[in-house]
């Protein structure tokens, strides 16, 4: 079994790659820059994987629902999907590690863009279940493409993982890097099988109109990811500005108090001098 050649433009996956190349290049640059910052700060990193937790969880719940419905698209989606690809439980484990076993801090999306994105995925895939193929291609194949590099960067970060008594460094790192691991002997073989079945199931089953819908939704999948990252950046910037404003106000009050005190001492000294030398 082999995946379609990159030059085979009858393969839906290859058409998605060609049509979304500008989106892919844009998000690739954005993720590379932001990820370099995230691996230096556990709070920022956990916000990032929290975004993907909600996206993957929504996709996998919608996929499970559609397969169970026994609809026109159920068999195609079931034969395309590989359970080993599932990321919800993996990300849940990572987030439990970074949030110190407090699931209430991450199980529900609380930022506007994440809420809207998850709602969008649920709505469009309930109306057109085959649009799940857009998210399967864009988000899950990305785990193989950039996942190995990102996993290496995370594992090497000295600031993400605390020292834990009775555990080695590798054991601690393993607790927070489940996202990048697949429960198979050869992840690249899983990737090849997934791409091959993706092509096999979609090549003749979907109409040209449906394929175009998947391509357009794939573009949106990239935009959803980019917007989610930007929102986290805005959220952190707003918090930072709030902290700075608080510090400025607080420090300003102390400064004002100091000035008033010094002025008071100055006037008291002048009065004393005036009394002594009258």
Q: Is 137 annotated as a binding residue?
A: no
Task: Say if residues 169 and 161 touch (Cβ distance below 8 Å).
Answer: yes
**Long-range pairs for 44-49: beta carbons < 8 A, 24 or more residues apart:** 44/232, 44/236, 45/98, 45/154, 45/160, 46/95, 46/98, 46/99, 46/106, 47/232, 47/235, 47/236, 48/229, 48/232, 49/91, 49/94, 49/95, 49/98, 49/179
Token reading at 45:
């990193």
Neighbour-count burial for 156-170, b at 16+ CB within 10 Å, e otherwise? ebeebbeeeeeeeee
d(CA 36, CA 57) in angstroms, rounded, equals 25
d(C-alpha 123, C-alpha 217), whole Å: 13
218-242 residues labelled b (16+ CB within 10 A) or e (exposed): bbbbbebbebbbebbeebeeeeeee
* Separation CA 36–CA 229 (nearest Å): 13
- Name the 3-class secondary structure at 160: coil
Q: From the annotation, which residues make up the binding site?
A: 24
Q: From the annotation, which residues make up the binding site for heme b?
A: 24
């Amino acid at each position: 079994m082999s995946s379609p050649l990159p030059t085979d433009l009858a393969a839906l996956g290859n058409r998605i790659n060609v049509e979304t190349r500008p989106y892919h290049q844009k998000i690739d640059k954005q993720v590379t820059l932001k990820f370099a910052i995230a691996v230096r700060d556990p709070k920022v990193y956990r916000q990032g994987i929290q975004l993907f937790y909600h996206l993957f969880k929504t996709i996998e719940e919608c996929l499970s629902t559609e397969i169970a419905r026994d609809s026109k698209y159920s068999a195609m989606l079931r034969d395309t999907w590989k359970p080993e690809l599932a990321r919800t439980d993996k990300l849940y484990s990572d987030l439990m590690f970074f949030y110190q076993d407090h699931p209430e801090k991450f199980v529900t999306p609380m930022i506007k863009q994440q809420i809207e994105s998850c709602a969008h995925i649920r709505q469009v895939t309930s109306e057109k279940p085959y649009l799940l193929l857009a998210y399967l291609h864009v988000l899950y194949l990305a785990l193989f493409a950039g996942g190995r590099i990102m996993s290496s960067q995370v594992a090497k970060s000295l600031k993400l993982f605390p020292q834990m008594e009775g555990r080695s460094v590798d054991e601690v790192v393993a607790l927070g890097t489940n996202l990048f691991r697949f429960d198979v002997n050869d992840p690249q073989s899983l990737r090849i099988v997934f791409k091959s079945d993706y092509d096999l199931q979609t090549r003749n089953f979907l109409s040209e109109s449906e394929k175009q819908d998947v391509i357009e939704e794939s573009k949106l999948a990239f935009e959803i990811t980019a917007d989610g990252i930007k929102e986290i950046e805005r959220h952190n910037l707003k918090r930072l500005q709030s902290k700075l404003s608080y510090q400025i106000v607080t420090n300003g009050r102390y400064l004002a108090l100091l000035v008033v005190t010094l002025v008071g001492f100055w006037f008291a000294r002048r009065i004393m001098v005036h009394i002594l030398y009258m």
